[in-house]
Structure 1
Amino acid sequence: MGPRQCQVCNEAPSKYKCPLCLVPYCSLVCFKKHKEVPCAIEPVSAGDQPTAPNGSLVDRPIYVRDQNEILEKLQLEAIASSSEIHSDLNHERLQKLILAIDSSPDPETELDKAMEDEAFHIFSTKISSIIGS
């Protein structure tokens, strides 16, 4: 499977996805153009979500019930710039847990299971500490 096409300019391969609606885009210019119109986030039933041949979900929209659950840019930047988080993300076990959550049709249940793992619990506590929650 090749790279996805930018859905804003339809000219370049996408490198990124909108954090709200997951529309693929290729550059900051396209992201800004995409953001000129607010993202339409609608709930999606499990039956409507596309799946890959291996059964994993593909580009599922994210439905946020409470806007306070969305991290601010500064919080995301703080996470991204943390050397401790970068170091933790190099651990294969943690990568597998995160992938399991991300590809699950029921990510909340998968997250609850991952929280039982001490390494994941410590990781999530670090992130909570960084974002101040």
Structure 2
Amino acid sequence: MNKTCEICSKEARYKCPTCMIFYCSVPCCKIHRQNKCDVLQRDEEEEMANLIVKRRKIETMTESTVPEDKLKLLNSNEEVNNLLTNSHLRNLLVAIDKSDNAEEVMQKAMQEPIFVEFADACLKVVEDKTEVEENS
């Protein structure tokens, strides 16, 4: 997620605790403070947070993105839950999640039979039956 400094438009690392704008450095913070930042009203803050979440979802949507309602089906799938009792599989998933290069780590994980079995089980749950039949 790229955050942009509201003062100089560089990459921002910090957020003003008062008004929640992003800034990149002490000099930009000082400029911002000189302009007397205002506290966002609670409703405005929540509305802004909702817009940010919505924007992130849109930005990360691709043609292969699985809809949220189908992802929720994974939670109640017995096969998926049984596979998740395997500590080696859980460790692989954690490694992928924490990795800076998840694609590379996932390629290595695809060499593990338990990971392939898990991926197949997940795909069975989230893919439309019509899509599966068309691809067969």
Cα distance between partner residues in 2 of 1:80 and 1:35: 26
Residue 130 of structure 1 is matched in structure 2 by: 125
Q: State, as a whole percentage, how many aligned pairs show the same letter.
A: 20
Structure 2 counterpart of 1:91, from 75, 86, 106: 86
Q: Deviations over 1:80-109 (max 9, x none)?
A: 110211111111110111011111110000
Residue 116 of structure 2 is matched in structure 1 by: 121
RMSD in angstroms over aligned alpha carbons? 2.6
TM-score, with length taken from structure 2: 0.51
Aligned length: 81
Cα distance between partner residues in 2 of 1:84 and 1:33: 39
Secondary structure in structure 2 of the residue aligned to 1:113: helix
Structure (1 or 2) with the greater helix fraction: 2
Quote how far apart the aligned CAs of 1:73 are.
2.1
- Cα 1:38–1:126 change in 2 (3 A) is same
Residue 23 of structure 1 is matched in structure 2 by: none
Within 5 A, what are the aligned runs for 1:1-80? 36-39=50-53, 40-41=55-56, 64=60, 67-80=62-75
AA partner of residue 85 (structure 2): N
Q: Which has the larger radius of gyration?
A: 2
Cα distance between partner residues in 2 of 1:88 and 1:35: 35
Quote how far apart the aligned CAs of 1:36 are.
3.8
TM-score, with length taken from structure 1: 0.52
Secondary structure in structure 2 of the residue aligned to 1:84: helix
